[in-house]
Structure 1
Amino acid sequence: MPAFEVLYQAAALCLTYPDDEFRARLPLLREAAPQLREFTDHAAVTDARELAAHYVQVFDFDERHSLYLSWWQDGDTRRRDMSLVRFEDLYRAHGLEFTGEELPDFLPAVLEFAARTGNTDLLTDHRAGLERLRAGLTAFGTPYACVLDAVCATLPPVRTGARS
């Protein structure tokens, strides 16, 4: 698979809460990842408060837009705990310790992991969930959908019988 590390890092930043640091990085993100220009151009011309409110509306109030990959496979069940352990184990196997405020299956964290290590196993294993998230964002009409479009375009097709 070709190296998509820059795209993954840029997508990770685009899918986190759009704070002042994010806004300061927009010109760099635009140049580094042309696949994300639809989103970065939108973010650049959108009022900061409006962009932040949209992020909250899209990702915090609708489970169909969950950025937690194990949720797509396991839902809100006990099985999800074991999935989260798998994420942490894979991070550790690559010499990384997950210390984020979010859970280890948070898509921006997974994208950053893929960017730093070149390991796309978590993205590939959760490809079906990523497609469902992408479809949900597209149906909602949010510019965040193009970020998922770009990420999904780098991955192999969904495997038949994939659960997530």
Structure 2
Amino acid sequence: MENNGLIFSMLSALLDYPDQTLIAALDEIRAALAAHPSLPADTRSALIDLVDRLSARPLLDLQEDYVEIFDRGRATSLYLFEHVHGESRERGQAMVDLLAMYEAKGLFLGAGELPDYLPVFLEFLAHETPGQARALLGEIADISRQIATRLAERGTPYFAAVAALLPLAGEAPLAYANAALFDAATTCEIDGEALDREWQEEPVSFLGAQVPLSKNPEPIQFYEKRPSR
């Protein structure tokens, strides 16, 4: 079985809050993704498009885009348990259990890092055996497909980094032919009505958990791994 540890780390970097370290690594990431045999041709092409678009924009613009894309609703949140538990009390215990799984394998998170943040989860998978990484990635396949679909609908190339997790988990890839193309001149704006619809998304399963969300949930508290600006 192919060891995809390096690819998991690169996808983690692409999905994390952009910084100068990412910018410096984009050429290396592009070369690795373009040649990786575990990724279908459409997946590689979409990832290369994402990397090229990140390379073409100033860092400050990338950071503003990131906040706009990922911090404005549950549907595209990269905090996995928001898609399962919302802000219910069950989320706290799920966090504890996931953190324990990390620490049992020697991964200890820094201050401000939450274990259900997708880039953190991917970095954990990068240090797992290929079989275990594939199995755990399969556990979040429903969430990955949901997030990737919502990102594609908004026309952001970030959909590619999440959609790439599907073939790596042995799942059917996203239908790229139906994915919207990103227009760098048009930010992905969402009106209040659309956000209200996002709060009502049906929950999906992650690591065996499935908890119904309230029909009238409280606004989400977004936990930021990145430093305050």
Task: Report the TM-score when normalising by structure 2.
Answer: 0.65
Distance 1:37 1:95 in 2: 32
Aligned counterpart in structure 1 of residue 161 of structure 2, from 147, 154, 162: 147
Alignment of 1:3-22 (within 5 A): 3-22=3-22
Residue 137 of structure 1 aligns with which residue?
Answer: 151
What amino acid is aligned across from residue 17 of structure 1 in structure 2?
Y
Where structure 2 has 5 or more consecutive residues not aligned to the other structure, the ranges are 35-43, 173-203, 207-229
Residue 53 of structure 2 aligns with which residue?
Answer: 42
Aligned residues: 161
Question: Shift in Å at residue 117 of structure 1?
Answer: 2.0
Percent identical among aligned pairs is 29
Q: What SS does structure 2 have at the residue aligned with 1:32?
A: helix
Distance 1:107 1:95 in 2: 18
1:18-70 CA-to-partner distances (Å, cap 9, x unmatched) read: 11111111111111222331211111112222211111100112221110111
What amino acid is aligned across from residue 29 of structure 1 in structure 2?
I
Question: Shift in Å at residue 100 of structure 1?
Answer: 4.9
Question: Contact conserved, 1:67 with 1:106, CA < 8 A, in 2?
Answer: yes
Residue 163 of structure 1 aligns with which residue?
Answer: 205
What amino acid is aligned across from residue 74 of structure 1 in structure 2?
H
Q: What SS does structure 1 have at the residue aligned with 2:103?
A: helix
Question: Shift in Å at residue 6 of structure 1?
Answer: 1.5
Distance 2:152 2:167 in 1: 15
Residue 79 of structure 1 aligns with which residue?
Answer: 90
Distance 2:111 2:154 in 1: 28
Question: Contact conserved, 1:6 with 1:33, CA < 8 A, in 2?
Answer: no
What amino acid is aligned across from residue 29 of structure 2 in structure 1?
L
Residue 92 of structure 1 aligns with which residue?
Answer: 103
Q: What SS does structure 2 have at the residue aligned with 1:22?
A: helix
What amino acid is aligned across from residue 147 of structure 2 in structure 1?
L
Question: Shift in Å at residue 122 of structure 1?
Answer: 3.9
Where structure 1 has 5 or more consecutive residues not aligned to the other structure, the ranges are none
Distance 2:33 2:171 in 1: 22
Question: Shift in Å at residue 102 of structure 1?
Answer: 2.3
Residue 69 of structure 2 aligns with which residue?
Answer: 58
Distance 1:100 1:3 in 2: 29
Question: Contact conserved, 2:141 with 2:165, CA < 8 A, in 1?
Answer: no
The structure with the larger Rg is 2
What amino acid is aligned across from residue 91 of structure 1 in structure 2?
Y
Distance 2:64 2:103 in 1: 35
Runs of 4+ in 1 over 4 A off after TM superposition: none
Question: Contact conserved, 1:130 with 1:148, CA < 8 A, in 2?
Answer: yes
Question: Shift in Å at residue 76 of structure 1?
Answer: 1.3
- Calculate the aligned-residue CA RMSD, in Å: 1.8
Residue 33 of structure 2 aligns with which residue?
Answer: 33
1:93-135 CA-to-partner distances (Å, cap 9, x unmatched) read: 2122222522111000000010122342443222211111111
Distance 1:78 1:149 in 2: 29
Cα 1:76/1:142, change in 2 over 3 Å? same
